């Protein structure tokens, strides 16, 4: 198998960053899609590959859980794409079971944006195991 289910994948430690501009776009998109979910892919810069600079919208984005949003067979082969972002119509930016399944199959860094019914936005980043990781806004 090309992608074996090793318990501990050897992934070099990365100190992830995201540009303020990209984060603003994500927050605005999440708010404007509320109460539906917003989903997109995350693209990093081409030099250091540790700074999320761009979101890439998937064709035919639909509401629902992350499996519905991220139809993995539609993913482009592009090594600058490092993970996903999606919103929850909830104040909790916590991964669901479906999210954890997605994280384990694709990508290295995943953002979840929680949008409360009052429009308050919070976000968290997770690695492929669903463990919270810190991301600096630059
Ligand atoms: Zn989710």
Q: How far apart are CA 92 and CA 41, in angstroms?
A: 20
pLDDT for 10: 59
Q: What is the pTM of this model?
A: 0.84
Q: How does pLDDT run across 45-93, given as a tens digit for each residue? A: 999 899 999 998 876 555 555 555 666 656 667 889 999 999 999 988 9
Let me know: does 91 contact 114? Beta carbons within 8 Å: yes
pLDDT for 74: 61
C-alpha 23 to ligand 1 mean position (Å): 18
For 3-32, what is the mean pLDDT?
82
Q: Where are the domains of the chain?
A: 16-137
Q: Is 28 a catalytic residue?
A: no
Tokens 């119509």 label which residue? Answer: 89
C-alpha 9 to ligand 1 mean position (Å): 23
C-alpha 14 to ligand 1 mean position (Å): 23
Class of the CATH-defined domain 16-137? alpha beta
82: nearest Cα among 37, 46, 113 = 46
């Amino acid at each position: 198998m090309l992608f074996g289910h090793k318990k501990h994948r050897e992934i070099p430690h990365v100190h992830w960053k995201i540009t303020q501009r990209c984060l603003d776009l994500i927050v605005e998109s999440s708010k404007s899609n509320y109460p539906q979910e917003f989903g997109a892919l995350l693209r990093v810069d081409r030099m250091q590959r540790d700074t999320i600079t761009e979101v890439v919208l998937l064709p035919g984005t639909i509401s629902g859980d992350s499996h519905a949003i991220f139809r993995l067979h539609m993913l482009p082969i592009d090594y600058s794409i490092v993970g996903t972002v999606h919103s929850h119509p909830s104040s909790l930016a916590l991964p669901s079971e479906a999210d954890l399944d997605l994280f384990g199959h694709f990508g290295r860094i995943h953002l979840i944006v929680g949008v409360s019914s009052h429009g308050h936005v919070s976000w968290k980043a997770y690695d492929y195991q669903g463990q919270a990781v810190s991301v600096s806004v630059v």
